[in-house]
């Protein structure tokens, strides 16, 4: 991924998430809202991929806008958030993971968490930088 040198770990994590989603979506399912379970699951994967790409771009933009001394704290916070997002969604959807729509529910959770994180990243650009969520 271009421009990922300073945040190689996070870029690698985002790339792995995208590759996993693509691999799942390529397992024979094409997104079709209201279609079969597999097609609806594929839509959830695509929605997550879009949200994850958007947050990765925003993260990189915020990183570039910050002073060098602020970047390590944002890097730590964002890395922790990535881990926590996955953990929260795994816990929230554990009961449905073996069901046919389990992937949809898991990816929908990841998408919600990712979209909500935008506010957390944007505060780094405000006067409250960096500490107050």
CA 4 from centroid of its chain's CA atoms: 16
pLDDT tens, residue by residue, 79-131: 999 999 999 999 999 999 899 989 999 999 999 999 999 999 999 988 665 54
Q: Has residue 18 been placed in a domain?
A: no
Structure pTM?
A: 0.73
Q: How many domains does the structure of the chain reveal?
A: 1
Q: Has residue 2 been placed in a domain?
A: no
Q: Has residue 13 been placed in a domain?
A: no
CB 57 within 8 A of CB 78: no
pLDDT tens, residue by residue, 10-57: 444 544 444 444 444 445 579 999 999 999 999 999 999 999 999 999
Q: Has residue 7 been placed in a domain?
A: no
Distance CA 118, CA 128 (A): 15
Give the domain range for residue 78: 30-125
By CB atoms closer than 10 A (0-12, 13-18, 19+), residue 16 is: exposed
Q: Has residue 80 been placed in a domain?
A: yes
- How large is the angle between the packed helices 37-65 and 8-25, nearest 10 degrees? 160
Q: Has residue 84 been placed in a domain?
A: yes
């Amino acid at each position: 991924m271009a421009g990922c040198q300073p945040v190689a770990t996070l870029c690698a994590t985002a790339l792995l998430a995208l590759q996993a989603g693509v691999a799942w979506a390529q397992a024979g399912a094409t997104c079709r809202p209201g279609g079969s379970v597999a097609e609806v699951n594929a839509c959830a994967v695509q929605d997550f991929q879009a949200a994850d790409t958007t947050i990765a771009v925003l993260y990189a933009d915020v990183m570039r806008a910050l002073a060098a001394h602020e970047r390590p704290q944002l890097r730590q916070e964002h890395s922790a958030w990535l881990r926590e997002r996955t953990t929260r969604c795994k816990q929230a959807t554990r009961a449905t993971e073996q069901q046919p729509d389990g992937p949809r529910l898991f990816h929908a959770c990841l998408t919600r968490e990712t979209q909500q994180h935008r506010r957390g990243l944007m505060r780094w650009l405000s006067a409250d930088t960096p500490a107050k969520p």
